Amino acid sequence: MSRAHVSADYYYRIPVRPIYKSYPVYAPGREPAGYEEWLKRQEPETVFEVSKLKTEADWIKAGEVVFDAPIFYDALVRAADVKDPLWHVKTGALAAKDGSLPYFRYVVREKGKVELGTISCAMCHTRVMPDRTVIKGAQGNFPRVRGFAWKPKQNCGEENHSNNWQGYRNYGYVQYLVVRRGRLIRKPDRIRISRSFS
């Protein structure tokens, strides 16, 4: 692998990652009535366009959009996980005062299909305080090891050969987890992952 800087020509030919409008994710029983069906009716919408940023306030708001924007979808943690009350018990993930989980966002990239967005700046740098207020940009307290190890084979193991998993490895989180009773006990060398909460 070369350590040389890429050329400007190459750099400017790299496709720009679209940032889609995203929506809050809620803990079980805290969603507004009809929320899931409402999400399915939303049209895909990109929300970061430099040409529309005119004022300092525009740029500040855009910065928060980028901070919250996920780069993986239904990987590592899935919508079914955060809707499962047992996931919350086992992981200890804290919800905000309004019941939202500020580490995640729902994203609509295709009408009728709602995906759980993960791996954003917010996922690692959002802190939910004991009184359930939220601090963005802080040292985060989402329990990543327990959250990712909940169903590792389905969410990020060998059965999931998507680009999400390869991207996760490249991102630097090469932690192949074996968890027993919610605690990390070793990091095996291979992608084969097992877990037990019994």
- Characterize 19-38 residue by residue with b for buried, 16 or more Cβ atoms within 10 angstroms of its Cβ, and e for exposed: bbbbbbbbbeeebeeeeeee
Q: pLDDT per residue over 69-106, tens digit each?
A: 999 998 888 899 999 999 999 899 999 999 999 999 99
Domain that holds residue 169: 18-196
Rounded-to-integer distance, Cα 138 and Cα 141, Å: 9
Q: Is the dihedral of CA 10, 13, 18, 19 positive or negative?
A: positive
Let me know if residue 13 belongs to a domain: no
Let me know if residue 12 belongs to a domain: no
Let me know if residue 22 belongs to a domain: yes
Let me know if residue 141 belongs to a domain: yes
Let me know if residue 11 belongs to a domain: no
Let me know if residue 102 belongs to a domain: yes
Q: pLDDT per residue over 38-58, tens digit each?
A: 999 999 999 988 889 999 999
Q: What is the pTM of this model?
A: 0.74
User: What was the pLDDT predicted at 2?
Assistant: 65
Let me know if residue 185 belongs to a domain: yes
Extended beta strands in 27-143, E state: 72-73, 100-110, 113-118, 126-128, 134-136
Rounded-to-integer distance, Cα 88 and Cα 70, Å: 21
Number of domains in the chain: 1
Q: How many CB atoms lie within 10 A of CB 8?
A: 8
Token reading at 119: 């791996």
Largest CA distance in the chain: 55
Mean pLDDT across 112-129: 94
pLDDT at 159 over 60: no
Let me know if residue 9 belongs to a domain: no
